Amino acid sequence: MQKLSAPSSPGIYIFKTLGGEVLYIGKAKNLKNRLASYFVKNLAPKTRAMVSAATKISIIKTSTEIEALLLEAKLVRKFMPMFNSELKDDKTPLYITLTKEDYPRLLTLRKTQLEEFKLSHVWGPFTQSTSVRRVMKMLRRIFPYSQHKPVKRACIYSQIGLCNPCPSEIIAESDPVKKLELQKQFKRNLGFIKKFLNGNFASLKKDLEKQMKSASSQDMFELAQEIKNQLNMIDHITTKSHTPDEYIKDPNLIDDIRERELAELIKLIKPYLIIEKLERIECFDVAHLSGTNQTASMVTFINGEPDKTYYRHFNVHNKNSDVNNMQEVLSRRLKHIDDWGRPDLIIVDGGKPQVSSGLLVVSNEIPLIGLAKRQETLIIKHENKFVEIRLKRGPAMYLVQRLRDEAHRFARRLHHKQVSKAFKIR
Protein backbone atom coordinates (compact mmCIF):
# COMPACT_ATOMS: atom_id res chain seq x y z
CA MET A 1 0.00 0.00 0.00
CA GLN A 2 1.39 3.38 -1.03
CA LYS A 3 1.48 6.44 1.18
CA LEU A 4 -1.47 8.80 0.81
CA SER A 5 -1.00 12.52 0.30
CA ALA A 6 -3.09 13.92 3.15
CA PRO A 7 -3.82 17.46 4.38
CA SER A 8 -2.87 18.79 7.81
CA SER A 9 -6.53 19.29 8.70
CA PRO A 10 -8.71 17.28 11.09
CA GLY A 11 -10.78 14.43 9.72
CA ILE A 12 -11.24 10.67 9.60
CA TYR A 13 -9.35 8.01 7.68
CA ILE A 14 -10.55 4.57 6.55
CA PHE A 15 -8.33 1.56 5.82
CA LYS A 16 -9.92 -0.78 3.25
CA THR A 17 -9.18 -4.03 1.43
CA LEU A 18 -9.05 -4.40 -2.34
CA GLY A 19 -12.65 -5.60 -2.26
CA GLY A 20 -13.80 -2.53 -0.32
CA GLU A 21 -14.13 -4.12 3.13
CA VAL A 22 -13.59 -1.53 5.89
CA LEU A 23 -10.78 -2.68 8.18
CA TYR A 24 -10.30 0.34 10.42
CA ILE A 25 -11.74 3.83 10.92
CA GLY A 26 -9.81 6.43 12.86
CA LYS A 27 -9.96 10.14 13.56
CA ALA A 28 -7.13 12.63 13.58
CA LYS A 29 -6.53 16.22 14.58
CA ASN A 30 -3.93 16.30 11.81
CA LEU A 31 -4.52 13.73 9.05
CA LYS A 32 -1.08 14.14 7.52
CA ASN A 33 0.79 13.44 10.76
CA ARG A 34 -1.52 10.64 11.85
CA LEU A 35 -1.30 8.71 8.58
CA ALA A 36 2.47 9.16 8.45
CA SER A 37 2.65 7.24 11.75
CA TYR A 38 1.41 4.11 9.98
CA PHE A 39 4.42 4.05 7.64
CA VAL A 40 7.19 3.61 10.18
CA LYS A 41 9.21 0.44 10.84
CA ASN A 42 8.41 -0.18 14.50
CA LEU A 43 4.64 -0.73 14.30
CA ALA A 44 2.88 -2.84 16.92
CA PRO A 45 2.04 -6.36 15.63
CA LYS A 46 -1.73 -5.78 15.38
CA THR A 47 -1.24 -2.44 13.64
CA ARG A 48 1.26 -3.99 11.21
CA ALA A 49 -1.25 -6.75 10.39
CA MET A 50 -3.95 -4.19 9.65
CA VAL A 51 -1.69 -2.04 7.45
CA SER A 52 -0.53 -5.17 5.57
CA ALA A 53 -4.12 -6.24 4.91
CA ALA A 54 -5.17 -2.80 3.64
CA THR A 55 -4.77 -1.79 0.01
CA LYS A 56 -6.54 1.58 0.11
CA ILE A 57 -6.97 4.55 2.46
CA SER A 58 -9.88 6.97 2.15
CA ILE A 59 -10.04 10.27 4.03
CA ILE A 60 -12.83 12.69 4.87
CA LYS A 61 -11.68 16.15 5.93
CA THR A 62 -13.74 17.93 8.59
CA SER A 63 -13.82 21.51 9.85
CA THR A 64 -13.03 20.63 13.45
CA GLU A 65 -11.77 17.79 15.64
CA ILE A 66 -15.20 17.58 17.30
CA GLU A 67 -16.81 16.90 13.93
CA ALA A 68 -14.19 14.22 13.24
CA LEU A 69 -14.91 12.53 16.57
CA LEU A 70 -18.68 12.40 15.99
CA LEU A 71 -18.28 11.27 12.37
CA GLU A 72 -15.87 8.52 13.40
CA ALA A 73 -18.36 7.17 15.96
CA LYS A 74 -21.19 7.13 13.43
CA LEU A 75 -19.12 5.32 10.79
CA VAL A 76 -17.66 2.81 13.26
CA ARG A 77 -21.18 1.93 14.39
CA LYS A 78 -22.28 1.59 10.75
CA PHE A 79 -19.40 -0.61 9.50
CA MET A 80 -18.19 -2.27 12.75
CA PRO A 81 -14.61 -2.71 11.44
CA MET A 82 -12.72 -5.68 12.89
CA PHE A 83 -9.54 -3.78 13.72
CA ASN A 84 -11.28 -0.94 15.58
CA SER A 85 -11.53 -3.22 18.61
CA GLU A 86 -8.38 -5.27 18.02
CA LEU A 87 -6.05 -2.25 17.87
CA LYS A 88 -7.04 -1.02 21.32
CA ASP A 89 -5.08 -3.60 23.31
CA ASP A 90 -8.20 -5.59 24.18
CA LYS A 91 -9.98 -2.56 25.66
CA THR A 92 -13.60 -2.38 24.58
CA PRO A 93 -14.77 0.83 22.88
CA LEU A 94 -15.94 3.79 24.92
CA TYR A 95 -19.48 5.19 24.73
CA ILE A 96 -21.11 8.40 25.94
CA THR A 97 -24.46 7.53 27.47
CA LEU A 98 -27.47 9.16 29.09
CA THR A 99 -29.23 7.14 31.78
CA LYS A 100 -32.98 6.61 31.88
CA GLU A 101 -33.80 8.10 35.30
CA ASP A 102 -35.79 10.95 36.84
CA TYR A 103 -32.55 12.93 36.83
CA PRO A 104 -30.50 11.43 33.96
CA ARG A 105 -26.73 11.15 34.28
CA LEU A 106 -24.24 11.64 31.45
CA LEU A 107 -21.69 8.84 31.73
CA THR A 108 -18.83 7.33 29.74
CA LEU A 109 -19.10 3.53 29.67
CA ARG A 110 -17.22 0.66 28.11
CA LYS A 111 -19.19 -1.73 25.93
CA THR A 112 -19.10 -4.33 28.70
CA GLN A 113 -20.83 -1.87 31.07
CA LEU A 114 -23.76 -0.90 28.85
CA GLU A 115 -26.06 -3.63 30.16
CA GLU A 116 -25.53 -2.52 33.75
CA PHE A 117 -27.57 0.67 33.22
CA LYS A 118 -30.96 1.62 31.85
CA LEU A 119 -30.02 4.02 29.05
CA SER A 120 -32.09 6.44 27.00
CA HIS A 121 -29.30 7.54 24.63
CA VAL A 122 -25.99 6.02 23.53
CA TRP A 123 -23.32 7.77 21.43
CA GLY A 124 -20.38 5.85 20.06
CA PRO A 125 -18.41 3.69 19.90
CA PHE A 126 -15.41 6.00 20.23
CA THR A 127 -11.94 4.56 19.72
CA GLN A 128 -9.90 7.24 21.51
CA SER A 129 -10.78 7.58 25.17
CA THR A 130 -8.63 10.70 25.61
CA SER A 131 -10.65 12.54 22.95
CA VAL A 132 -13.93 11.47 24.55
CA ARG A 133 -12.88 12.63 27.99
CA ARG A 134 -11.68 15.94 26.54
CA VAL A 135 -15.08 16.47 24.90
CA MET A 136 -16.90 15.55 28.13
CA LYS A 137 -14.80 18.03 30.10
CA MET A 138 -15.36 20.77 27.54
CA LEU A 139 -19.09 20.03 27.29
CA ARG A 140 -19.51 20.23 31.05
CA ARG A 141 -18.18 23.79 31.07
CA ILE A 142 -20.83 24.80 28.53
CA PHE A 143 -23.81 22.80 29.81
CA PRO A 144 -23.17 21.62 33.39
CA TYR A 145 -24.42 18.05 33.80
CA SER A 146 -24.71 15.47 36.56
CA GLN A 147 -22.93 12.14 36.93
CA HIS A 148 -24.49 11.11 40.26
CA LYS A 149 -27.85 10.21 41.70
CA PRO A 150 -29.57 12.68 44.08
CA VAL A 151 -28.32 12.56 47.66
CA LYS A 152 -28.91 14.67 50.77
CA ARG A 153 -26.28 17.31 49.97
CA ALA A 154 -25.26 19.04 46.72
CA CYS A 155 -22.11 17.59 45.19
CA ILE A 156 -18.68 19.22 45.12
CA TYR A 157 -19.02 19.97 41.38
CA SER A 158 -22.09 22.12 42.04
CA GLN A 159 -19.89 24.47 44.06
CA ILE A 160 -17.74 25.20 41.01
CA GLY A 161 -20.64 25.37 38.55
CA LEU A 162 -20.03 22.04 36.79
CA CYS A 163 -23.18 20.33 38.09
CA ASN A 164 -25.78 23.03 37.75
CA PRO A 165 -28.47 22.56 38.80
CA CYS A 166 -27.37 19.64 40.95
CA PRO A 167 -30.07 16.91 41.31
CA SER A 168 -29.50 16.93 45.07
CA GLU A 169 -30.18 20.68 45.12
CA ILE A 170 -33.41 20.17 43.17
CA ILE A 171 -34.64 17.42 45.50
CA ALA A 172 -33.89 19.54 48.56
CA GLU A 173 -35.67 22.66 47.25
CA SER A 174 -38.84 23.30 49.26
CA ASP A 175 -40.23 26.20 47.21
CA PRO A 176 -42.36 24.56 44.46
CA VAL A 177 -41.85 27.47 42.04
CA LYS A 178 -38.06 27.43 42.39
CA LYS A 179 -38.04 23.64 42.22
CA LEU A 180 -39.96 23.65 38.94
CA GLU A 181 -37.58 26.22 37.46
CA LEU A 182 -34.56 24.13 38.47
CA GLN A 183 -36.13 21.05 36.91
CA LYS A 184 -36.73 22.95 33.69
CA GLN A 185 -33.14 24.15 33.62
CA PHE A 186 -31.86 20.60 34.23
CA LYS A 187 -34.02 19.26 31.39
CA ARG A 188 -33.03 22.17 29.12
CA ASN A 189 -29.32 21.46 29.60
CA LEU A 190 -29.84 17.80 28.70
CA GLY A 191 -31.70 18.81 25.54
CA PHE A 192 -28.77 21.00 24.48
CA ILE A 193 -26.27 18.23 25.25
CA LYS A 194 -28.20 15.74 23.11
CA LYS A 195 -28.18 18.14 20.16
CA PHE A 196 -24.45 18.74 20.63
CA LEU A 197 -23.60 15.03 20.68
CA ASN A 198 -25.84 14.41 17.67
CA GLY A 199 -23.80 17.02 15.81
CA ASN A 200 -26.80 19.33 15.33
CA PHE A 201 -24.77 22.45 16.10
CA ALA A 202 -26.76 24.81 13.86
CA SER A 203 -30.05 23.83 15.50
CA LEU A 204 -28.46 24.06 18.95
CA LYS A 205 -27.20 27.60 18.33
CA LYS A 206 -30.58 28.63 16.91
CA ASP A 207 -32.32 27.40 20.08
CA LEU A 208 -29.85 29.23 22.30
CA GLU A 209 -30.19 32.47 20.34
CA LYS A 210 -33.98 32.24 20.68
CA GLN A 211 -33.73 31.73 24.45
CA MET A 212 -31.21 34.57 24.78
CA LYS A 213 -33.56 37.00 23.03
CA SER A 214 -36.47 35.82 25.15
CA ALA A 215 -34.49 36.29 28.37
CA SER A 216 -33.33 39.75 27.29
CA SER A 217 -36.89 40.85 26.39
CA GLN A 218 -38.00 39.86 29.89
CA ASP A 219 -35.13 41.86 31.46
CA MET A 220 -33.46 38.60 32.61
CA PHE A 221 -30.07 40.00 31.69
CA GLU A 222 -27.98 37.60 33.79
CA LEU A 223 -29.57 34.61 32.04
CA ALA A 224 -29.17 36.29 28.65
CA GLN A 225 -25.45 36.85 29.34
CA GLU A 226 -25.05 33.24 30.49
CA ILE A 227 -26.60 31.99 27.24
CA LYS A 228 -24.40 34.35 25.23
CA ASN A 229 -21.33 32.88 26.94
CA GLN A 230 -22.54 29.41 26.02
CA LEU A 231 -22.95 30.48 22.40
CA ASN A 232 -19.44 31.94 22.34
CA MET A 233 -17.95 28.71 23.70
CA ILE A 234 -19.84 26.62 21.16
CA ASP A 235 -18.75 28.94 18.35
CA HIS A 236 -15.15 28.58 19.51
CA ILE A 237 -15.16 24.80 19.11
CA THR A 238 -17.66 24.28 16.31
CA THR A 239 -17.11 27.23 13.97
CA LYS A 240 -18.88 26.69 10.63
CA SER A 241 -19.84 23.21 11.75
CA HIS A 242 -21.45 20.35 9.84
CA THR A 243 -23.26 17.21 10.94
CA PRO A 244 -21.87 13.68 10.47
CA ASP A 245 -24.68 12.98 7.98
CA GLU A 246 -23.49 15.85 5.77
CA TYR A 247 -20.02 14.29 5.56
CA ILE A 248 -21.46 10.83 4.85
CA LYS A 249 -23.59 12.27 2.06
CA ASP A 250 -20.65 14.22 0.59
CA PRO A 251 -17.17 12.97 1.64
CA ASN A 252 -15.66 15.91 -0.28
CA LEU A 253 -17.76 18.42 1.64
CA ILE A 254 -14.82 20.50 2.93
CA ASP A 255 -13.16 20.67 -0.52
CA ASP A 256 -16.48 21.82 -2.03
CA ILE A 257 -16.85 24.47 0.68
CA ARG A 258 -13.29 25.73 0.14
CA GLU A 259 -13.95 26.07 -3.60
CA ARG A 260 -17.06 28.17 -2.89
CA GLU A 261 -15.15 30.35 -0.42
CA LEU A 262 -12.36 31.08 -2.89
CA ALA A 263 -14.77 31.67 -5.78
CA GLU A 264 -16.80 34.18 -3.76
CA LEU A 265 -13.71 36.07 -2.59
CA ILE A 266 -12.43 36.31 -6.18
CA LYS A 267 -15.83 37.61 -7.27
CA LEU A 268 -15.74 40.34 -4.58
CA ILE A 269 -12.24 41.67 -5.28
CA LYS A 270 -11.83 41.05 -9.02
CA PRO A 271 -13.53 44.32 -10.05
CA TYR A 272 -10.72 46.21 -8.29
CA LEU A 273 -7.65 43.96 -8.65
CA ILE A 274 -6.04 41.98 -11.44
CA ILE A 275 -6.48 38.49 -10.09
CA GLU A 276 -7.31 35.18 -11.74
CA LYS A 277 -6.76 32.61 -9.01
CA LEU A 278 -6.33 32.37 -5.24
CA GLU A 279 -4.37 29.19 -4.92
CA ARG A 280 -2.05 30.77 -2.36
CA ILE A 281 -3.09 33.50 0.12
CA GLU A 282 -0.82 34.97 2.79
CA CYS A 283 -2.07 36.91 5.81
CA PHE A 284 0.12 39.13 8.02
CA ASP A 285 -0.44 40.30 11.59
CA VAL A 286 1.62 42.26 14.15
CA ALA A 287 1.44 41.59 17.91
CA HIS A 288 2.85 43.64 20.78
CA LEU A 289 2.23 44.66 24.38
CA SER A 290 2.19 48.44 24.85
CA GLY A 291 4.75 48.82 22.11
CA THR A 292 7.15 46.20 23.48
CA ASN A 293 8.20 42.75 22.26
CA GLN A 294 6.85 43.32 18.76
CA THR A 295 6.44 40.22 16.63
CA ALA A 296 4.71 39.52 13.35
CA SER A 297 3.34 36.46 11.64
CA MET A 298 2.78 35.24 8.11
CA VAL A 299 0.32 32.39 7.65
CA THR A 300 -0.27 30.73 4.30
CA PHE A 301 -3.42 29.07 2.99
CA ILE A 302 -3.16 26.80 -0.05
CA ASN A 303 -6.50 26.25 -1.79
CA GLY A 304 -8.29 27.56 1.30
CA GLU A 305 -6.48 25.32 3.82
CA PRO A 306 -3.63 26.32 6.18
CA ASP A 307 -0.22 24.98 5.14
CA LYS A 308 2.08 25.35 8.15
CA THR A 309 5.23 24.56 6.16
CA TYR A 310 4.91 28.11 4.81
CA TYR A 311 4.22 29.84 8.14
CA ARG A 312 6.82 32.38 9.23
CA HIS A 313 7.53 34.38 12.40
CA PHE A 314 9.28 37.76 12.33
CA ASN A 315 11.00 39.63 15.15
CA VAL A 316 10.16 43.25 14.39
CA HIS A 317 13.01 45.76 14.71
CA ASN A 318 11.09 48.97 13.99
CA LYS A 319 9.50 50.15 17.25
CA ASN A 320 7.53 53.12 15.88
CA SER A 321 4.08 51.81 14.94
CA ASP A 322 2.09 48.86 13.61
CA VAL A 323 2.06 50.54 10.19
CA ASN A 324 5.86 50.77 10.03
CA ASN A 325 6.17 47.27 11.43
CA MET A 326 3.94 45.89 8.68
CA GLN A 327 6.03 47.71 6.09
CA GLU A 328 9.20 46.17 7.50
CA VAL A 329 7.74 42.65 7.52
CA LEU A 330 6.46 42.87 3.95
CA SER A 331 9.85 44.16 2.78
CA ARG A 332 11.54 41.16 4.34
CA ARG A 333 8.92 38.82 2.88
CA LEU A 334 9.50 40.03 -0.69
CA LYS A 335 13.17 39.10 -0.45
CA HIS A 336 12.12 35.45 -0.35
CA ILE A 337 9.95 35.15 -3.44
CA ASP A 338 12.34 32.65 -5.03
CA ASP A 339 12.66 30.30 -2.04
CA TRP A 340 9.31 30.76 -0.27
CA GLY A 341 7.14 31.15 -3.36
CA ARG A 342 4.83 33.88 -4.65
CA PRO A 343 1.37 34.48 -3.16
CA ASP A 344 -1.65 35.23 -5.33
CA LEU A 345 -2.98 37.60 -2.65
CA ILE A 346 -1.68 39.29 0.50
CA ILE A 347 -4.06 40.22 3.31
CA VAL A 348 -2.88 42.56 6.05
CA ASP A 349 -4.72 42.86 9.34
CA GLY A 350 -5.79 46.48 9.44
CA GLY A 351 -7.41 49.32 7.56
CA LYS A 352 -6.37 52.11 5.21
CA PRO A 353 -3.03 52.99 6.92
CA GLN A 354 -1.84 49.38 6.79
CA VAL A 355 -2.96 48.96 3.17
CA SER A 356 -1.26 52.22 2.11
CA SER A 357 2.03 51.31 3.78
CA GLY A 358 1.88 47.78 2.42
CA LEU A 359 1.35 48.98 -1.14
CA LEU A 360 4.44 51.19 -0.86
CA VAL A 361 6.42 47.98 -0.51
CA VAL A 362 4.46 45.57 -2.69
CA SER A 363 3.46 48.10 -5.35
CA ASN A 364 1.66 46.31 -8.19
CA GLU A 365 3.79 43.20 -7.87
CA ILE A 366 1.28 41.26 -5.74
CA PRO A 367 -2.41 42.10 -5.04
CA LEU A 368 -2.81 43.37 -1.46
CA ILE A 369 -5.92 44.10 0.60
CA GLY A 370 -6.68 44.87 4.24
CA LEU A 371 -9.18 43.38 6.65
CA ALA A 372 -10.57 45.90 9.14
CA LYS A 373 -12.08 44.46 12.32
CA ARG A 374 -14.91 46.97 12.14
CA GLN A 375 -17.83 44.94 10.76
CA GLU A 376 -15.40 42.62 8.91
CA THR A 377 -14.62 45.04 6.07
CA LEU A 378 -12.23 44.48 3.17
CA ILE A 379 -10.11 47.54 2.33
CA ILE A 380 -8.94 47.79 -1.30
CA LYS A 381 -7.12 50.67 -2.99
CA HIS A 382 -8.38 51.11 -6.55
CA GLU A 383 -7.46 54.01 -8.86
CA ASN A 384 -6.03 55.99 -5.91
CA LYS A 385 -9.26 55.63 -3.94
CA PHE A 386 -10.18 53.28 -1.13
CA VAL A 387 -12.99 50.82 -1.65
CA GLU A 388 -14.62 49.32 1.44
CA ILE A 389 -16.49 46.02 1.09
CA ARG A 390 -18.43 45.04 4.17
CA LEU A 391 -18.52 41.26 4.18
CA LYS A 392 -21.84 39.52 4.60
CA ARG A 393 -22.09 36.24 6.49
CA GLY A 394 -21.09 33.60 3.96
CA PRO A 395 -18.20 31.74 2.29
CA ALA A 396 -15.88 34.72 1.62
CA MET A 397 -16.30 36.05 5.16
CA TYR A 398 -15.56 32.64 6.70
CA LEU A 399 -12.38 32.31 4.63
CA VAL A 400 -10.87 35.69 5.55
CA GLN A 401 -11.90 35.26 9.20
CA ARG A 402 -10.02 31.97 9.33
CA LEU A 403 -6.96 33.62 7.78
CA ARG A 404 -7.07 36.58 10.17
CA ASP A 405 -7.68 34.43 13.27
CA GLU A 406 -4.86 32.05 12.35
CA ALA A 407 -2.49 34.99 11.79
CA HIS A 408 -3.48 36.38 15.23
CA ARG A 409 -2.90 33.02 16.89
CA PHE A 410 0.48 32.50 15.25
CA ALA A 411 1.68 36.05 16.02
CA ARG A 412 0.68 35.75 19.67
CA ARG A 413 2.52 32.45 19.95
CA LEU A 414 5.95 34.03 19.45
CA HIS A 415 4.95 37.21 21.26
CA HIS A 416 3.98 35.28 24.41
CA LYS A 417 7.28 33.40 24.32
CA GLN A 418 9.21 36.66 24.16
CA VAL A 419 7.19 38.26 26.98
CA SER A 420 7.71 35.19 29.18
CA LYS A 421 11.43 35.24 28.43
CA ALA A 422 11.64 38.94 29.29
CA PHE A 423 9.95 38.37 32.68
CA LYS A 424 12.29 35.50 33.50
CA ILE A 425 15.32 37.66 32.77
CA ARG A 426 14.06 40.30 35.16
Domain ranges of the chain: 11-65, 94-196, 199-249, 256-425
Identical fold for domains 11-65 and 256-425, yes or no, is: no
Q: Is the pLDDT of residue 425 over 60?
A: no
Compute the average pLDDT of residues 339-353: 93
pLDDT at 90: 46
Collect all residues with Cβ–Cβ distance below 8 Å to 299 and sequence separation of at least 6.
282, 283, 306, 311, 403, 406, 407, 410
Average pLDDT (202-211) is: 89
pLDDT higher than 50, residue 351: yes
Going 6 to 9 to 15 to 21, the CA torsion angle's sign is negative
Over the stretch 391-406, which tens digit does the pLDDT of each residue have? Answer: 988 899 999 988 998 8
Spatial contact of 147 and 106, defined as CB atoms under 8 Å apart: yes
Q: Strand 292-302 and strand 312-315: pairing? A: antiparallel
Decide if 344 contacts 338 (C-beta within 8 A).
no
Closest alpha carbon to 94 in 142, 68, 130, 46: 130
pLDDT at position 276 over 90: no
Strand partners, 54: none
Instruction: Specify the higher pLDDT residue, 272 or 238.
Output: 272
Identify the band that residue 345 occupies on the pLDDT scale cut at 50, 70 and 90.
Answer: very high
Q: What's the one-letter identity of residue 125? A: P
Distance of CA 138 to the CA centre of its chain: 13
Amino acid identity of residue 353, one-letter, is: P
pLDDT score recorded for residue 316: 78
- Which residue did the predictor score with more confidence, 223 or 4? 223
The pLDDT of residue 24 is 93
**Distance (Å, whole) CA 267 – CA 277:** 11
The residue among 229, 256, 240 whose CA lies nearest residue 201 is: 240
Q: How far is residue 252's CA from residue 239's CA, in Å, rounded to a whole number?
A: 18
Mean pLDDT of the chain: 87
Highest CATH level, class, for 11-65: alpha beta
| Inter-residue contact 310 to 328 (CB < 8 Å) | no
pLDDT digits (tens, 9 = 90+) for 117-144: 999 999 988 878 888 888 899 899 999 9
**CATH number for domain 256-425, candidates 3.30.420.340, 3.30.413.10, 2.60.40.420, 3.40.50.720:** 3.30.420.340
Q: Is the pLDDT of residue 421 over 80?
A: no
Question: Cβ(139)–Cβ(193) under 8 Å?
Answer: yes
The predicted structure's pLDDT at residue 390: 93
pLDDT above 90: percentage of residues in the chain: 50
Residue 50, beta-bridge partner list: none
Nearest to 275 by CA among 284, 266, 263: 266
pLDDT tens column, 152-204? 888 999 989 999 999 999 999 999 999 999 999 999 999 999 999 998 888 89
Least confident window among 54-58, 198-202, 211-215, 371-375:
371-375
Q: What is the pLDDT of residue 376?
A: 86
C-alpha separations of 298 from 3, 45, 401 in Å: 30, 42, 15
- Confidence class of residue 365 from pLDDT cuts 50, 70 and 90? confident
SS in 3 state form for the chain?
Answer: CCCCCCCCCCEEEEEECCCCCEEEEEEECCHHHHHHHHHCCCCCHHHHHHHHHCCEEEEEECCCHHHHHHHHHHHHHHHCCHHHHHCCCCCCCEEEEEECCCCCCEEEEEHHHHHHCCEEEEEEEECCHHHHHHHHHHHHHHCCCCCCCCCCCCCHHHHHCCCCCCHHHHHHCCCHHHHHHHHHHHHHHHHHHHHHHCCCHHHHHHHHHHHHHHHHHCCCHHHHHHHHHHHHHHHHHHCCCCCHHHHHHCCCHHHHHHHHHHHHHHHHHCCCCCCCCCCEEEEEEEEEECCEEEEEEEEEEECCEECHHHCEEEECCCCCCHHHHHHHHHHHHHCCHHHHCCCCEEEEECCHHHHHHHHHHHCCCCCEEEEECCCCEEEEEECCEEEEEECCCCHHHHHHHHHHHHHHHHHHHHHHHHHHHHHHHC
- From the list 314, 305, 295, 302, the residue with the least C-alpha distance to 341 is 302
- The reported pTM is 0.72
Using a pLDDT cut of 70, give the percent of the chain over it: 91
Of the candidates 201, 109, 110, the residue with the CA atom closest to the CA atom of residue 147: 109
